[in-house]
Amino acid sequence: MELRADGSRPGLWTGFLRSAKLFPDRPAVVAQGTSLSYRQLREVAVRIAACIQAHREGSSTPLTAVFAHRGATAFAGVLGSLLAGNGYVPLNRTFPVERTRSMLVRSECRSIIVDAESLPQMDALMAGVDEPLLVIAPGLENPRPYRERWPLHIIVGAADLDGYADWREPDAREDAIAYLLFTSGSTGVPKGVMVAHRNVAAYVDHAAERFAVTELDIVSQTFDMTFDLSASDMFVAWERGACVCCPSQKTLINPGRFIRDQGLTVWFSVPSMVALMKQSGLLKPGGFPSLRLSLFCGEPLPVASVAAWAMAAPNSVVENLYGPTELTIACTGYRWDPKRAPLEAEMGIVPIGAPFPGMNVLVVDEHLNEVGPGADGELLMSGPQMSLGYWKDPEKTAAAFVVPPGRKEMFYRTGDRVRRPAGDGPLTHLGRMDSQVKILGHRVELGEVEAVVREASGVDGVVAIGWPVTSSGYGGIEVLIEGGPVDLDRLRAAVAARLPDYMVPRRWHVRSRLPRNANGKYDRKAMPAVLGDSQ
Ligand code: AMP
């Protein structure tokens, strides 16, 4: 087994346990207005872990679901799953229950940690779960009614949890899944990306050094746990004894106040958040003096956004990070330099920089042959952060994880179009090769939206597009339907019951004929011209 830089094993919990020893009384998490010290968070997480271990039968599954949002239970749940020796599967109560249930059932989790605010969804969620589940609800005072309603399942409430003290630190298996994260799938079904302990350890080791995190840092947590960038906030902070500061959804409406009130030192968000803050007049000169580091990732970063941010956060270094979930959080980075960066930017977008240690870059043409320096192509990457592939989907794994001609190593096909640097310049991001789009940082396969609309409407001719264009991606999704007639109110409700909010089309257009290209295929590029004003 390859040990980490500090000689520890690659189990994702080891950094937290070390910090809990070194800094037991420092805050590990601030969420829902309360602060939990490392000692307190460790205590709850260890109880959850002991409970999972006590109920493990023949260790049939290595995964635990965490159905909790922006609160202490979410953080303790993630740690508790890992300390039990399981990977975690983040679920999100802002998604439709049907989608959450499909993730729970497909991941074959036999245990789930639920926070008090997600409990009201549990009846609907459990309706389709036929295998016995261990339900750990640290905020549940009276489990009796739940036990009566769900006799198949074991329900552990707040008082029961206190009884679990017998915890054993698990063996770190570096290839075991640390988290399984479902992301949009082009054929209509979300894909589960399996990220191993060694993948996250490689990222965390580099990131903690690169960002020079210390126990004095206060790190933002703007991402939901269903977005892998949240793992960076937690594990990089806990690696060094820093504090993760998690705003509620409501607090996030005014991120500027959150930065000032909490005295954040490290900020991490999608670039869209900067654009929104700029539009709302929240970026005032010198407004965020406490920030020493600002990280952006998840979508193209406009030069104009950095300029506005740098003015508001004058003491902060700015980094543009790039990476798909399949390559673990972020795998290239570019440090903003006000003199050099505008010259290296293309089309007003900040370069994505250079690969992280051990990661290899290959820029290829459609036959997967390397293109020449200065030419465009698809970005392929390999190295220690390359994930294990898609959960129970060898076909999709084989399509995305490939050995290019003349190479021995496997590479992940990112689907991103980049320019191969000439000389020692940075990599620049030029767009996507496929129909994946970003909606305020959320990854959406337009094919998934189309599949769901097709199924719900019974109409074959469906095209979804990102619209309107924003500086970093798209503001939302619009859908065009060929033929009809369709009952749009019914269709909208049926689609909203299956897709998270950001994937639900904002406007629907029914046309007798949609534009096609010379091959008779729908011409996506021509679609915006026919949008008009329809609903
Ligand atoms: P996700 O798996 O949700 O993290 O989405 C990964 C995709 O987001 C990448 O394949 C890119 O298309 C896009 N992306 C992430 N970071 C950047 C960035 N810094 N610049 C441009 N695109 C990015």
pLDDT tens digits for 141-171? Answer: 999 999 999 999 999 999 999 999 999 999 8
Protein residues with CB under 6 Å of any ligand 1 atom: 183, 228, 297-301, 320-322, 324-325, 352, 414, 416, 429, 432, 438, 443
CATH at 426: 3.40.50.12780
What CATH number has the domain bearing residue 509? Answer: 3.30.300.30
Residues 141 and 66 in one domain: yes
Beta bridge partners of 65: 89, 112
**Residue 306, both tokens:** 């950095």
Angle, CA of 430, 182 and 62, to the nearest 5°: 135
pLDDT classification of 7: cutoffs 50, 70, 90: low
Calculate how far, in angstroms, residue 182's C-alpha sits from the geometric centre of ligand 1. 15
Distance 141 CA to ligand 1 centre (A): 42
C-alpha separations of 356 from 288, 321, 384, 419, 487 in Å: 28, 10, 10, 17, 50
Q: Are residues 307 and 380 in the same domain?
A: yes
**In ligand 1, which atom is closest to the CA atom of 321?**
19
Task: Answer yes or no: is 27 within a domain.
Answer: no
Single out the residue in 383, 399, 431 at which a domain terminates: 431
Q: Is residue 404 part of a domain?
A: yes
Burial call 229-267: b when 16+ CB within 10 Å, e when fewer: bbbbbbbbbbbbbbbbbbbeeebeeebbebbeebebbbb
Beta strands 111-114; 134-136: pairing state: parallel
- Residues 165, 209: one domain? no
Do residues 174 and 201 make contact, with C-beta atoms less than 8 angstroms apart?
Answer: yes
pLDDT digits (tens, 9 = 90+) for 375-392: 999 999 999 999 999 999
Same domain, 312 and 355: yes
Residues 60 and 128 in one domain: yes
CA 27 to chain centre: 24
Count of C-beta atoms within a 10 Å radius of residue 278: 18
Distance 193 CA to ligand 1 centre (A): 15
Same domain flag for 209 and 279: yes
- Which residue, judged by its Cα, is nearest atom 3 of ligand 1? 443
pLDDT in tens, 51-61: 999 998 655 66
Residue 6 pLDDT level (bands cut at 50, 70, 90): low
Residue 7 located in a structural domain: no
Domain count, the chain: 3
Q: Of 155, 172, 189, which closes a domain?
A: 172
* Distance from Cα 73 to the centre of ligand 1, integer Å: 29
The number of the ligand 1 atom at minimal distance from the alpha carbon of 432 is 12
The residue segments making up the domain with residue 427 are 198-431
Cis peptide before 190 (omega within 30 of 0): no
Which of 195, 269, 443, 474 for a ligand 1 pocket mutation test, highest count of atoms within 8 Å of Cβ?
443
Rg for the chain, CA atoms, rounded: 23
Q: In this predicted structure, what is the pLDDT of residue 226?
A: 96
503 found inside a domain? yes
- Condensed to tens digits (0 to 9), the pLDDT of residues 427-469 reads 999 999 999 999 989 999 999 999 999 999 999 899 999 999 9
Q: Which two tokens stand for residue 106?
A: 């497909």
* Span 97-144, pLDDT tens digits: 999 999 999 999 999 999 999 999 999 999 989 999 999 999 999 999
Residue 373 domain-assigned?
yes
- 162 lies in the same domain as 72: yes
| Residue 525, C-beta contacts closer than 8 angstroms, at least 6 positions apart | none
| Same structural domain, 265 and 351 | yes
What is the rounded distance in angstroms from the CA atom of residue 278 to the CA atom of residue 64?
39
Alpha-carbon torsion (266, 22, 163, 45), positive or negative: positive
- The CA 431 to ligand 1 mean position distance, Å, reads 10
Integer Cα distance of 293 and 207 in angstroms: 12
The reply to whether 285 and 407 lie within a common domain is yes
* Rounded average pLDDT over 306-328: 97
Residue 5 located in a structural domain: no
Could you tell me if 521 and 427 lie in one domain?
Answer: no
Supply the pTM of this predicted model. 0.94
Distance (angstroms) between ligand 1 centre and the Cα of 265 equals 24
Are 371 and 502 in the same domain? no
10 band by pLDDT with thresholds 50, 70 and 90: confident
Domain boundary among 157, 172, 187: 172
Within this chain, do residues 397 and 493 fall inside the same structural domain, yes or no? no
The residue whose CB lies within 8 Å of the most ligand 1 atoms, and thus the one to mutate among 223, 319, 322, is 322
User: Does any domain span residue 3?
Assistant: no
Q: Which of 322, 301, 427 is nearest to 374 (CA)?
A: 427
With the most atoms of ligand 1 within 8 angstroms of its CB, the residue from 183, 273, 296, 299 to mutate is 299
- Rounded Cα distance between 93 and 90, Å, is 10
- Residue 214 within any structural domain of the chain: yes
